[in-house]
Structure 1
Amino acid sequence: MAKIGYTLSSEEHGPNALVDNAVRAESVGFEFVSISDHFHPWTSTQGESPFVWSTLGAIARATDDLEVGVGVTCPTIRMHPAIHAQAVATVAAMFEGRFTFGVGTGENLNEHVLGDRWPEHEVRLEMLEEAMTVMEKLWTGENVSHHGEHYTVENARLYTLPEEPPPVVVSAFGPKTARMAAEHGDGLWTVGSQEKILEAYEEAGGDGPTYTQLDVCYAETEDEAVDTAYEHWPNTALPGELSQQLPTPAHFEQAIEMVDREDIAAGSTVTSPDPEDHRERIREAIDVGYDYVYVHQIGPDQSSFFECYETDVVPAFE
């Protein structure tokens, strides 16, 4: 049976609220949560972007059995993979087997902030593969030196380690990266009920756990939900690779001028107040074959969402 999870949206909630939401998610019956790793929110209206590794430490101490994953980190540009390896090892040690490390090729929105060049996807994919190699070496606890095409590590050793390295699940939005996830990762991470990406992963030999996120906005009425999603998460309606290429929230705010309320209403976000519509969207993702299906409640009202899902959605999948 697939596991049902909840999104800790770092772009919309501060660190203390994220910890509280994780605790609430566990009490509701969600089996896992995913937390985003951003330097910037997509838009200024979202308004937050705490340092994920600090937040994760607090969540580790505030929860008991909840599985937690980063969905996802780009371990290649903004922070060196050796430093990521240390951060992940510490957090994984705190979670004692409950932590999964999701990785991806990132977005310019977060990775340009130190003035580094934002390379094309092919190069970013090469960087991700090498970064994963560096981190795996360091998680052995041995002394590591690495002189690669993109990264250098000299005489580095991690002393604080979990009993076992966490699974590294690779994010993919197309078949090429899905094949890379099958070859180099321990699982697949994506969004929506995408069959082709899952098929590409499995055809390439991928047999690890598969994760997907569904956007929802639960409110008393559908109009209220559409208005909330339009105000707080219009970026979901942007086409193509804009979300990977635009560098600042201001640029996203310019781009979303092409998005209107009707785009949200007609899009993939579940805005119905009927719990059956939420259950059905989750079932669709499970039927496609995803092992972990988690929902992102858009907007500031998480309380009403939790009440609905505790009573009418999560129990349907127990």
Structure 2
Amino acid sequence: MAPLKLGISDQDGFTTPDPRVRRRLLDRVVEAGLDHVTMGDHISFHDGSGFDGMISATTVLSSHDRLSVIIGVYLLGLRHPMLAARQLSTLSQTAPGRLTLGVGVAGEDRREVSNSGVDPKTRGRRLDEALMLVRRLLDGEEVTHHGEFFRLDEARILPTPEPRIPIVIGGKGDVAVRRTAQFGDGWLGIFCSARRFAETRQRILEAAAGLDREAPSWFGVNVWCGLDADAAQAREMLAAKMEGLYHVPYEKFQYIAPAGTPEQVAELLQPFAESGAEYITLIPVGSSIEAEIDAVAEVKERLGKAVGAT
């Protein structure tokens, strides 16, 4: 079993406008022994809130010279692949080897898709085409392509990122299996049980073998969680946060978004690690961002000991 890498996501905290506070928080992440920071991406989610994943990743990478960043997940199907490839090439020059790109489709708010100029009915096919083009462009190819959604003539993006930027596929179900097996270096799950994670991972490996393609080697999961010394308080804080963001009752998430003490959350995460989730990102809700970092670090310590003992 590969060593567990556990990181943290806090969109607002790590993009605070005060650079001194931002560096202090990121230093705390590193000193706590966490392995990466994950930044999300939304253009206009439900009430208009959002954050650009590429800009957020740049902010973190330029604020700390050791941290790795996962963009999880970038809505590539709502962007032009030529422009996305240029951003990735430039970012790789600034922070080589410290970025992993997770990509997915917007699904929870169809208006986010249509207001970006994309037909929600075709967003999946558009992502597939964009994925193929971004990979070819980042590999340094000169690309001529006349497809359903994009037209490129003798297009090229240089310099080629070195080392290569891993591209992992977000999502679930049959589409995530197919897309990862066909295009991805790995899979990034969210809102799934440990049992479903293990099943999907195995299906991806089998599907890649059927395509005579090298097996994806990167498997991770993002997990919302409430963390506090008082388990009831942890649940209350998490419910308020998720209901405000997703506009659905927390009860719909309670079995895949745990809340409790660090010890309780570590116990609930153990089956993911044992099922091959090498990269786990916690999206914590706590009393403060400092408390969240410390609690996630405790989860990592407890989880590492539990997995190492099995």
Q: Do residues 210 (structure 1) and 198 (structure 2) align?
A: no
Matches within 5 A, 1:16-165: 16=16, 19-20=22-23, 21-41=25-45, 49-77=50-78, 79-107=79-107, 108=110, 110-119=112-121, 123-165=122-164
Aligned to 1:242: none
Aligned to 2:280: 293
Matches within 5 A, 1:239-278: 253=247, 256=248, 259=249, 263=251, 266-273=254-261, 275-278=262-265
1:233 to 236, 239, 242: 242
Aligned partners of 2:147, 2:253: CA distance in 1, in Å?
47
- The residue identity in structure 2 corresponding to 1:88 is L
**Per-residue deviation, 1:55:** 2.3
- The residue identity in structure 2 corresponding to 1:279 is A
Aligned partners of 1:29, 1:228: CA distance in 2, in Å?
25
**Per-residue deviation, 1:264:** 6.8
Aligned partners of 2:157, 2:164: CA distance in 1, in Å?
12
- The residue identity in structure 2 corresponding to 1:189 is L
Q: Percent identity?
A: 19
Aligned to 1:185: 184
Check 1:197–1:144 CA distance in 2 against 1; reply closer, same or farther (3 A cut): same
Aligned to 1:314: 300
* 2:89–2:158 CA contact under 8 A, matched in 1: no
Aligned partners of 1:113, 1:23: CA distance in 2, in Å?
38
Aligned partners of 1:24, 1:111: CA distance in 2, in Å?
36
**Per-residue deviation, 1:96:** 1.0
**Per-residue deviation, 1:14:** 6.8
| Per-residue Cα deviation, 1:95-116 (whole angstroms, up to 9, x for no partner) | 2111111111223353332343
* 2:227–2:286 CA contact under 8 A, matched in 1: no
Aligned to 1:174: 173
Check 1:299–1:160 CA distance in 2 against 1; reply closer, same or farther (3 A cut): farther
Aligned partners of 1:265, 1:207: CA distance in 2, in Å?
28
TM-score by length of 1: 0.79
Check 1:37–1:7 CA distance in 2 against 1; reply closer, same or farther (3 A cut): farther
| Per-residue Cα deviation, 1:35-67 (whole angstroms, up to 9, x for no partner) | 1011134567xxx53322222222222223322
* 1:5–1:33 CA contact under 8 A, matched in 2: no
**Per-residue deviation, 1:266:** 4.6
* 1:70–1:100 CA contact under 8 A, matched in 2: yes
Check 1:176–1:49 CA distance in 2 against 1; reply closer, same or farther (3 A cut): closer
Aligned partners of 1:62, 1:303: CA distance in 2, in Å?
17
Give ranges in structure 1 of 5+ residues lacking alignment. 236-248
Aligned partners of 2:56, 2:287: CA distance in 1, in Å?
18
| Per-residue Cα deviation, 1:101-136 (whole angstroms, up to 9, x for no partner) | 1111223353332343211xxx43322221112112
Aligned partners of 1:13, 1:150: CA distance in 2, in Å?
36
Give ranges in structure 2 of 5+ residues lacking alignment. 209-214, 306-310
Aligned partners of 2:127, 2:61: CA distance in 1, in Å?
26
Aligned partners of 2:223, 2:187: CA distance in 1, in Å?
15
> Relative CO higher for 1 or 2, CA cutoff 8 Å, sep ≥ 6?
1
Aligned partners of 2:175, 2:288: CA distance in 1, in Å?
37
Aligned to 2:212: none
Aligned partners of 1:28, 1:51: CA distance in 2, in Å?
27
- The residue identity in structure 2 corresponding to 1:56 is A
Aligned partners of 2:237, 2:47: CA distance in 1, in Å?
14
Aligned to 2:211: none
TM-score by length of 2: 0.81
